Amino acid sequence: MSLALKALKKSPWVFHVNTGACNNCDIEVLDVLTPRFDVERFGIVLVGSIRHADVLLISGPVTRNVLPRLKRLYEQAPKPIKVIVIGACGCRCGIFRDGYNIIGPADKFIPVDAYVPGCPPKPETIIAGVVKVLSTL
């Protein structure tokens, strides 16, 4: 295993994008950073710019308006980038599947590395998903 890859496993920086979720998953993402779970122990931090990110965290189904932006975000990210979708809506559109503005889950448009189901997923589940993605590296 190369040094860069080893270091990547020790400090995955996460950029979080909401592609049309109901905000519930976003609150759970913030829970992961609170004192009870504290993922900064493993070097995971939320960053403000996609240029700094190693993991693209997507919550919610993809709406028609957000699709070009999502594709652009993926293209703007410095590779290697891992993509995780969280929540039932992110995986299979959930209760929004018949919505007039919904055009499908994120994996129809960009490659996805991991799915974290749940409505919303518990913080433990999100951490388990991140661990699984990192173990595939």
Partner 1 sequence: MNAANLLFNYLVFPGFLFTAVVGLLATWVDRKVTARVHWRVGPPWYQPFADTAKLLGKEVVIPAEARKTGFLLMPVVGLAAATLASTILWMVNLYPRTSFIGDSIVVLYIMTIPAVSMIIGASASGNPLGIVGAAREMKLLFAYELPLVLAMLTTVYKAGSFSFDKILGYQDAHGIMLGSVSGVIAFIVSIFCAQAKCTMLPFDIPEAETELAGGSHIEYSGAPLAVVRLNMAIMFFVVPVFIITMFWGGVSFAGWRILTTILKYVAIVVIMVLIKNTNPRVRIDQAVRFFWGPMLVLSVVALILAVLGY
From the list 32, 54, 70, 82, which residue makes contact with partner 1 (rule: CB under 8 A)? 54
Instruction: Confirm if 61 and 86 have CB atoms less than 8 A apart.
Output: no
Q: Three-class SS of residue 39?
A: helix
Nearer of residues 40 and 124 to partner 1, judged by Cβ = 40
- Could you say which residues in the range 12-41 bind partner 1, by CB under 8 A? 35, 38, 40-41
Using the contact rule CB under 8 A, the part of the chain among 55-63, 77-85, 113-121, 127-135 near partner 1 is 77-85
Query: Does the footprint of partner 1 cover residue 47 (CB under 8 A)?
Result: yes
